[in-house]
Amino acid sequence: MSYSQKLLASATFIRSVLPDPDRPGRVTGAVRKLEGLEQLDPLLLGLRAAVRALPLGGARDVLHGRWLGHPVHPVLVQVPMGTWTSAAILDLLPGQRRTAGLLVATGLAAAAPAALTGWVDWAELRRPQLRVGVVHAAMNSVGVGLYAASLMARLRGRSVRGRALGYAGLTAVGIGGALGGHLAYHQAAAVNHAEDVGVRTPAGWHPLGRTAEFPVGAPVRRSVGEVPVLVVRESGGDVHVLADRCSHMAGPLSEGEVVDGCVRCPWHGSVFRLSDGWNVEGPATAPQPSFETRSVDGRVEARLRA
């Protein structure tokens, strides 16, 4: 092959890798195909049922991160990713074999709790997210297996093999991490779906309707400007108003069940206190925006609580 042919081949390869400015990125296009892969659903639904059936009790909310205010999983994955990346760097330096092996072992120990929190969050996602999420988990599992093999090779004195397996593991978890980024930033998995309420809600008091229009104990949907809200009137006359879109996955709270001063989301079962929007039970990790109410000439008015 001549020099000009090599240059042409190199240019063709670069064009095939770089994003096409007139189309979605190649990686995005490939993941979108994965999002629509309905053939995975029978497996995913069975796996989701198994994760939901785990006897975790109150620990499930701890794993979701309700106590933290956002998911725990992204926090925990920093440990294996950080230690394995550090090990990869040390593997390039002389005299760092033992330290690199210790970092690989630390990452393996930290991978288990990170994976558990990820699976618990995964079981409460929509189907397109479930499809991407299971491949994300599979790639990370491949990475963990490669790192386990890397550690065994290192312990047996096969340092070259151990380093090679380590770099292969880092590649696998890197792909898994990219898919995790797609879940979070493209598909909005496990983010606060009610965060924009404060921006979109007009200031001041807004009429919702006459008091008689709200049956006692029954959820009713109304709007404050363009923001849909849930309205519930209690037997004592108090009226509670929350943002209608659940902070977990934007489920309609106005279609949920009202029990003991709380509303349960009909999609994934998150429970919010009507008086202030506090998330009493997960999987929601963020509270629901709540509104102050008042009665003026028999009509209910509401404004976003400061």
DSSP letters of 213-279?
Answer: GS-BT--EEEEETTEEEEEEE-TTS-EEEEESB-TTT--BGGGSEEETTEEE-TTT--EEETTT--E
Pick the CATH number of 197-304 from 2.60.40.10, 2.102.10.10, 2.60.260.40, 3.30.565.10: 2.102.10.10
pLDDT in tens, 228-258: 999 999 998 899 999 999 999 999 999 999 9
pLDDT in tens, 172-208: 999 999 999 999 999 999 899 999 999 999 999 999 9
Q: Are 288 and 297 in contact (CB under 8 A)?
A: no
Calculate mean pLDDT across residues 97-112.
96
Predicted pLDDT at 88: 97
Share of the chain above pLDDT 90, in %: 87
Calculate mean pLDDT across residues 56-81.
96
Please give the Cα distance from 260 to 247 (Å, whole number): 20
Q: Would you list the domain boundaries of the chain?
A: 23-186, 197-304
Amino acid identity, position 141: S
* pLDDT for 148 beyond 80: yes
Predicted pLDDT at 30: 82
Q: Which residues on adjacent β-strands are paired with residue 256?
A: none
Can you say whether the dihedral through the CA atoms of 10, 13, 14, 15 is positive or negative?
positive
Task: Compute how many other C-beta atoms are within 10 angstroms of the C-beta atom of residue 264.
Answer: 19
> What 8-state DSSP symbol labels residue 19?
P
Amino acid identity, position 62: V
Helix (H) or strand (E) holding 297: none
* pLDDT for 17 beyond 60: no
> Quick one: pLDDT band at residue 6, thresholds 50, 70, 90?
low
Helix (H) or strand (E) holding 223: strand 220-224
The radius of gyration of the chain from alpha carbons, rounded to an integer in Å, stands at 25
Q: What is the mean pLDDT of the chain?
A: 93
What is the C-alpha end-to-end distance of the chain, expressed in Å? 71
pLDDT in tens, 28-52: 778 889 999 999 999 999 999 999 9
